[in-house]
Amino acid sequence: MIILHVFSVLNLQFSIMAFKGRENFGRVGAVLAAAGSAVGLGNIWRFPIETGRNGGAAFVLVYILCVIILGLPVMISEFLIGRSTQANTAAAYRKLSPDTQWKWVGRLGVLTGFLILSYYSVVAGWTVEYAGYALFNTFAGQHDYKVMFNDFAADPFWPVLWLFVFMFVTHVIIVRGVKSGIERVSKILMPTLFLLIMMLVFCSVTLPGSGAGIDFIIHPDFSKIDGMVVLSAMGQAFFSLSIGMGCLCTYASYFRPDTNITRSAINVASIDTMIAIMSGFIIFPAAASAGYTLTAGDVGPSLIFITLPHVFQQAFSGAPILAYIFAVMFYVLLILAALTSTISMHEVITAYLSEEFEMSRKKAARMVTSACAFLGIFCALSFGLLNGFHPMGKTIFDWFDFLSSTILLPFGGMLISLFAGWHLNKKLMYDELTNYGTIRIRYFKILVFILRFVAPIAIGFIFLNETGLFDIFR
Ligand code: TRP
Query: H or E segment at 290?
Result: none
> Is 18 within the bounds of a domain?
no
42: Cβ below 6 Å to ligand 1? yes
Domain with residue 292: its CATH number is: 1.20.1740
239: Cβ below 6 Å to ligand 1? yes
> Is 473 within the bounds of a domain?
no
> Is 12 within the bounds of a domain?
no
* Cα 37 to ligand 1 centre (Å): 6
> Is 15 within the bounds of a domain?
no
* Cα 340 to ligand 1 centre (Å): 10
* Cα 416 to ligand 1 centre (Å): 16
What is the mean pLDDT of each successive set of 10 residues along the chain, which is 474 residues long? Answer: 55 56 89 97 87 87 94 97 96 95 96 95 96 92 86 94 98 96 96 94 91 89 82 86 96 96 98 96 90 70 83 84 92 96 98 96 98 97 88 87 84 95 96 94 96 93 72 52
Burial class (CB in 10 A: 0-12, 13-18, 19+), 267: middle
240: Cβ below 6 Å to ligand 1? yes
Residue 84 has φ and ψ, to the nearest 5°, of: -70, -25
pLDDT for 142: 81
Q: What are the angstrom distances between the C-alpha of 136 and each of 59, 142, 189, 328, 367?
A: 37, 13, 23, 9, 35
Give the separation between CA 456 and CA 414, rounded to whole angstroms: 5
* Cα 40 to ligand 1 centre (Å): 7
37: Cβ below 6 Å to ligand 1? yes
* Cα 46 to ligand 1 centre (Å): 11
Ligand 1, pocket-test mutation among 89, 182, 239, most atoms within 8 A of CB: 239
40: Cβ below 6 Å to ligand 1? yes
What angle in degrees, to the nearest 10, is found between the helix axes of 158-175 and 320-356? 60
* Cα 339 to ligand 1 centre (Å): 11
> Is 471 within the bounds of a domain?
no
Stated pTM of the model = 0.92
pLDDT for 313: 86
Measured by CA distance, the residue closest to atom 14 of ligand 1 is 242
* Cα 268 to ligand 1 centre (Å): 13
Measured by CA distance, the residue closest to atom 9 of ligand 1 is 242
41: Cβ below 6 Å to ligand 1? yes
How is the chain split among helix, strand and coil, in percent rounded to 5? 75, 0, 25
Ligand 1, pocket-test mutation among 47, 341, 348, most atoms within 8 A of CB: 341
Measuring CA to CA, which residue among 313, 311, 139, 281 is closest to residue 206? 281
Closest atom, ligand 1, to C-alpha of 405? 13
What DSSP letter does each residue of 356-375 carry, written as one string? HTT--HHHHHHHHHHHHHHH
342: Cβ below 6 Å to ligand 1? no
247: Cβ below 6 Å to ligand 1? yes
Containing structural domain, residue 189: 2-7+23-466
Measured by CA distance, the residue closest to atom 8 of ligand 1 is 242
> Is 270 within the bounds of a domain?
yes
Give the separation between CA 68 and CA 165, rounded to whole angstroms: 37
Measuring CA to CA, which residue among 329, 291, 394, 354 is closest to residue 88? 354
Give the total number of structural domains in the chain: 1
> Is 143 within the bounds of a domain?
yes
Ligand 1, pocket-test mutation among 43, 119, 240, most atoms within 8 A of CB: 240
Measuring CA to CA, which residue among 205, 217, 212, 268 is closest to residue 49? 217
pLDDT for 15: 55
> Is 272 within the bounds of a domain?
yes
pLDDT for 356: 96
